[in-house]
Amino acid sequence: MSSPEAQSKLSTDLSTIDPQDLVPDSDFEPFEDTAGDLDLPADRFSNRELSWLAFNARVLALAEDHRQRLLERMKFLAIFASNLDEFYMVRIAGLKRRAAMGLQVTSADGLSPRETLERLAESTRDLAHRHASCFRDDIQPALAEEGIRVVSWESLDAAQRARMSDYFRSTVFPVLTPLAVDPAHPFPYISSLSLNLAVLVRDPDGSIDRFARVKVPNNVPRYVVVSHSATEAEFLPLEDLIATHLPMLFPGMEVVEHHLFRVTRNAEVEVEEDRDEDLLQALERELMRRRFGPAVRLEVAEDIDEDVLSLLISEIDVELSEVHKVPGLLDLSSLWQIYDVDRPALKDKPFVPATHPRFAEGESPKSVFATLREGDVLVHMPYESFATSVQRFIEQAAADPHVLAIKQTLYRTSGDSPIVDALIDAAEAGKQVVALVEIKARFDEQANIKWARALERAGCHVVYGLVGLKTHCKTALVVRQEGRALRRYAHIGTGNYNPKTARMYEDLGFFTADETICADITDLFNVLTGYSRQTEYRSLLVAPQGLRSGIIERIEAEIEHQRAGRGGHIQIKTNHLVDEQTIDALYRASQAGVKVELLVRTFCTIKAGVPGLSENITARSILGRFLEHSRIFYCGGGGEPQYWIGSADLMHRNLDRRVEVLCRVTDKTATTHLRRCLDAAFAPDTASWELQPDGRWVRAGGSRQLDYQQGLMRELGSRGE
């Protein structure tokens, strides 16, 4: 077993969850009907944005579920808050921009951008209020019973107040900058997602109230530790501490009142990609513009003064409909700090990933290359270790004197990236290293620019992606000298080369030395780094040219198998399902009698179980301790089944504007594991949500409510003991 220190580290790394994996880019495509000869109804698609709200409602339901451990419930509140922030910054912002432009082009469900915004308004408010109330009225009192309290200044005793005042003077006061608003001082720019105090002060000799803004610093912990022991912990919100000491910021003035507010801004980055312009410079210019995007939401405390609110609305330039009055604390994404409190009984038991048995001999690591010469390996994270599989693959390649070249795509990395470090080591050792760093990865642009420059300094060949496309595929290729021949080894994954998210995201990694697959990966890198125009591959489906058509061809094949009496069966596990052409193909399959089972985490615009349209389609969603992130595509094949895994979701952006890869898996051990996963996911007693014909998601799993992820933890995690 791993050490307690290692277990503790794993249990706290949840704070690194990337909500951008939950909210896709704000692509908006005019709908083109692809129903073909079948008489498919015009209303056969659900609204995409409302389907996202339904997903975040399922996240909130986990926070409201008293069967979850208390701090895990609070964790889901933090995730919900981050999700909603991202939704406003990307999806709502994009809709508002299109509505302001007067675009009337409808989406597949028939709604214009403005109509979609109108439908979203009430739903988002209801969810946000339910979210805030869940913390204030349920979880916060339950935490207090366990000795974990978020306290106010008024509740502190004299000794605690003295200690907090000392902390304020030494740590907080020096970084505060009160900004006056008057004819000589224009209203300050309010950065997105920052917490701010709107302060009214008055000269003792006058009667005019003056406005000032104080930003709550984001480089100081949001919750100040008042007391901490093995059984108790008390936290004072930083804004409460600042508010108490406002007279120190305005000496000689009377502080009349103060109110907390928070602004959310449009975070879309639209790079005009010119083949003659340096993409890196163009992106850096657009990132500067992002800071000053228009406001799309103003959150305020419930008791805000109406005159102050009117001033904020006017100066920040939002509509009254974009104001959200929040009961209790603003910005519950900050609850991650409280989650880190050392109370194991209130959290899920720490889980230590196991090393895949093919990559170890007893306690000793085994050469990845020797293992792959014996056959393919499928690793399932986070149940199996990223560090002893994916990371070790690159590290061993970097250190192996027989390795001549390493080629890898990098979409999202972590702040501390052992993968990048290994690539740098390889380049410094004289190996040829090619890294395609996708600098357009939303919200990771600055980090990826930093890594790209570090790789360049080490002598790596760095490519920034393709004009007009994002490179989202997760691929790595190693070329090794073995005797007089060169041998290639490849990795194709469903998740990023990121050791932190690999602890929380459910993903698959496929390792192979198969010559056909490796030749395809070689050809793909030639497309990514050179001027190759190859569009067809032997063992891969690659977007944007052939992935959608490849999937639809396999759906059509299942229809033929069904009609010929061989039985048709399709199972798809994906994060998002909104591509109309694919959905129409699934409708055609259902109408032909093909059994279609879908496991969709977030966006889902298909209608399942509708008589005459989709009665043979079932759609499920599984949420839990880990973020379901892998993509699996299964077709029965009339008795010759096919399994495909990869990085692509069924969305316009993935199929038309990204480089994506699906790889066919044929190794018997690997396909057996995929079969067990799909069987468990679609089992009647597996806890999940099921999509109803009327568009509602309802709890499924019967009386047993078996935990799908817990089952995999028992099955695969036991290898680590």
Active-site residues, by number, are: 472
Minimal CA–CA distance to 384: which of 507, 494, 476?
507
Q: How far apart are CA 611 and CA 41, in angstroms?
A: 12
How distant, in Å, are the alpha carbons of 17, 248, 351, 648, 719 from that of 354?
A: 21, 54, 9, 27, 5
Which residues are paired to 485 by β-bridges? 482
Sign, CA dihedral 390-391-392-397, equals positive
Chain centroid to CA 312: how far?
31
Amino acid identity for residue 571 in this structure: Q
CA contacts within 13 A on the Cβ side of 262: 21
Is residue 601 a contact partner of residue 55, using CB atoms and an 8 Å limit? yes
Pairing of strands 505-512, 540-543: unpaired
Is residue 512 a contact partner of residue 489, using CB atoms and an 8 Å limit? yes
Helix then strand then coil, % of the chain, to nearest 5: 40, 25, 35
Omega before 247 cis (within 30°)?
no
Q: How far apart are CA 390 and CA 552, in angstroms?
A: 31
| Residues whose CB falls within 8 Å of the CB of residue 240, separated by 6 or more in sequence, listed in order | 152, 153
Is residue 528 a contact partner of residue 679, using CB atoms and an 8 Å limit? no
Give the three-state DSSP class for 622: coil
Phi-psi category of 639—alpha, beta or left, where left has phi over 0 and alpha has psi -120 to 50? left
Omega before 382 cis (within 30°)?
yes
Is residue 663 a contact partner of residue 646, using CB atoms and an 8 Å limit? yes
Measured torsion, CA atoms of residues 14, 18, 21, 24, in degrees rounded to the nearest 10? 150
Q: How far apart are CA 189 and CA 675, in angstroms?
A: 54
Neighbour tally for 327: CB within 10 Å: 15
Amino acid identity for residue 391 in this structure: Q
Q: How far apart are CA 419 and CA 431, in angstroms?
A: 15
